[in-house]
Amino acid sequence: MTAAIPRACVMGHPVAHSRSPMIHGYWLKSLGIQGAYDLKDLSPEAFPGFVTGFPANGYVGGNVTVPHKEAAHRIVDSRDEAAAAVGAVNTLWLENGRLLGGNSDTPGFIANLDDRAPGWDVPGCRAMVLGAGGAARSAVYALVTRGAQVHVVNRTFARAEEVAVRFGPRVRANGIDELPGLLATADVLVNCTSLGMVGKPALEIDLGPLKSSAVVYDIVYVPLETPLLAAARLRGHRTVDGLGMLLQQAGFGFRKWFGGAPRVTPELRAIVEADIVAKTPRN
């Protein structure tokens, strides 16, 4: 008899749009590893039972996406430092019979920034994060761990304040009306809202006050170049799209489930880029 091959999956609702099977399938093939990676569309009601039943369902772990990240945080037996800090789990794996959870968005966020805009972390770095949801918390945590002073800007000030309280004195909450003054001193501007995503309104922001050396980062990756990034590029800013974050964060789970040393190669990025371009509606 031969041992069953390890299986992992991405769990969300909906989840058909996910590029995770493409990414993990590429690594399984290129590294010559026996394994499988599936899509699992699970309602909020079905998610807990499926996850706690991983062994019976034939899975060694998986990725967690909207709307299950906070539920996953509650379910796991133990969580890593990033997941505990952010309050969300996006990667699950089994270890010695226990269900463990991690948050790969934080290392993925920073790895992408390092790769696409090296030297961004100037002395006394000031970052401005737009949004106060789970993605913003991951970005804020990652930036703070690298020594940045972070300003969180959100239309609902109370939510920005919650993020600032969670991460301590290096993080400050700000209202939308404070944007122009904050832009003038920002070294990194990050959009962690869904504005600019296909099907959503564009992010309306005047980049005029932003200093020319600032890096503009949008975690949205459909479209690859959001209106924010297009405007920043025309002004001469270095820009960072969200696709690199998606690719960089994926290796965390792959190593947990399948082993090996997955790398984000130009070939992999080109494959996923081509799929996004082919499936993104044209204006």
pLDDT digits (tens, 9 = 90+) for 58-103: 999 999 999 999 999 999 999 999 999 999 999 999 999 999 999 9
Q: 13: Cβ–Cβ under 8 A, 6 or more apart, which residues?
A: 41, 42, 43, 44, 47, 66, 67, 68
Q: Span 112-141, mean pLDDT?
A: 96
- Check whether 3 has a pLDDT greater than 70: no
Q: Span 218-232, mean pLDDT?
A: 96
Task: Note the pLDDT of residue 169.
Answer: 96
pLDDT digits (tens, 9 = 90+) for 87-98: 999 999 999 999
Cα-Cα-Cα-Cα torsion 268, 137, 99, 256, nearest 10 degrees, comes to: 30
**Helix 243-257, helix 266-279: angle, nearest 10:** 120
Reference 60, options 246, 255, 249; nearest CA is 255
* Global pTM value: 0.93
Q: From the candidates 29, 40, 69, 211, which is the catalytic residue? A: 69
pLDDT digits (tens, 9 = 90+) for 243-259: 999 999 999 999 999 99
Say whether 256 is catalytic: no
Q: Percentage of residues in the chain with pLDDT exceeding 90?
A: 93
